[in-house]
Amino acid sequence: MAFVKWLFCVLFVIVLNHQVQGQLGLPGNNYIEKQLLCALDKAPCDALGRQIKGALPEIIGKNCAACDARQVANARRIARYVQAKYPDVWNALVEKYAKEKQ
């Protein structure tokens, strides 16, 4: 459970960093896109990508059933961000990881 909490914090920082960079006009999409592609098995994974990929079955596949209220709120915030910025990737993530709950 501590791992999931840590992962949510890391993802939140990545999203926040991306939003700040976007407001400043700095490039920042590459790292986020690399992590998303890793989760879809379409790019190599670094350590963070492997952790994200490992947590997605719980977050998407089990609807974050083992998460506390703060983790659920963070997961929703991150999900809204990915849905808005990368809708096709979001749909692919849901398709891939929702199947794992069956």
Whole-structure pTM value: 0.69
Q: What is the pLDDT of residues 57-70, one digit of tens each?
A: 888 888 888 888 88
- Give me the helix-helix angle, 87-98 and 69-85, nearest 10°: 130
Helix (H) or strand (E) holding 78: helix 69-85
pLDDT digit string (tens) for 29-80?
A: 778 888 888 999 999 998 888 888 888 888 888 888 888 888 888 888 888 8
Give the C-alpha separation, 29 to 47, whole Å: 18
Confidence tier at 7 by pLDDT (50, 70, 90): low
Q: What is the pLDDT of residue 70?
A: 84
Rounded Cα gap, residues 19 and 85, in angstroms? 11
